Structure 1
């Protein structure tokens, strides 16, 4: 199931509704999320260009969602096992992060800014408080680029890896986020 335009609009509406009217909002519906699992027997890579996110630069709030089924693998069987056996995508269709920056976001600066977002990270139906380090850069006054690399520990989110497959699937997954946001309000 892919996110429909109505779902994206609903997410934006919720962010606008819970945030001050005078905020500066940046949004994307095409954030690139990839993950990598390195093991002695097999490396597993997948990516999705369908992350949706909104940042209120005035308050530092961020909301980020990804449809688990949107991740694409080189091998279709790997993708099937990922969705059915490990992520249980029918039961837990999305992963999300909702947080706030620990430092103010300076949207007048064209320099790279190191911003840590603290909030709730939900994967496989389990929510954990996380601090995610990011680099943010304002490109032209209307475009904001966010990059982040972090790790997800499978056991922290009750993602079960059968003992027989311990050499095929890493217990800690490397995640990369690369998102280009456009301003939607000033």
Structure 2
């Protein structure tokens, strides 16, 4: 019994030590925007409160944001977006969790084109996704930039037929974040 307890404690402290040794970068004020353009209407919004974390050792990445933090130039659009389309009371967050495919040492200054494979959850629906971007490292912090497209129908976001021609089939999502070493 004592041997099992000792082994458990050794494994526990080894894991805790490994977790402390990892290099983490993060932010809670990253920017994510989306853009939809059709001949009838342009729709765009910006979220300046997006959180992100990158573990440079494991290359794991996560980005999370509250849907209600998207700000639109037109307040009526913002209301419709939250109440009718994204149902932000029921589905308050969007989350990407993934892993950077390339073997990059983000502690070394430089600019690295990267691809993160993972899952994106919007409107309560999770789908696999591959996101291309670039990470610029100063050695002390990281600048993360990315762009990808989302199809509302893939995430069961219903667009009424009256406005279907005002919303693009593919919505451009862009991110720009400065992550500092934790």
Q: Residue by residue, what CA displacement relative to the aligned partner does 1:6-58 show, whole Å, maximum 9, x if unpaired?
A: xxxxxxxxxx98x8332100000111001000011110010011000110000
Larger radius of gyration between Structure 1 and Structure 2: 2
Instruction: Determine the C-alpha separation between the residues in 2 that align with 1:163 and 1:61.
Output: 40
Number of residue pairs matched by the alignment: 167
- Note the C-alpha offset of 1:167: 1.6
Structure 1 runs (4+) deviating above 3 angstroms are none
Give the equivalent residue in structure 1 for 2:73.
74
TM-score, with length taken from structure 2: 0.88
Instruction: Determine the C-alpha separation between the residues in 1 that align with 2:29 and 2:177.
Output: 7
Instruction: Determine the C-alpha separation between the residues in 1 that align with 2:96 and 2:132.
Output: 13
TM-score, with length taken from structure 1: 0.86
Unpaired runs of 5+ residues, structure 2, are 1-14
Unpaired runs of 5+ residues, structure 1, are 1-15
Instruction: Determine the C-alpha separation between the residues in 1 that align with 2:118 and 2:107.
Output: 25
Structure 2 residue 181 is matched with structure 1 residue 171: no
Give the equivalent residue in structure 2 for 1:150.
148
Q: Is the 1:58–1:105 Cα contact (8 Å) retained in structure 2?
A: no
Instruction: Provide the aligned C-alpha RMSD in A.
Output: 1.5
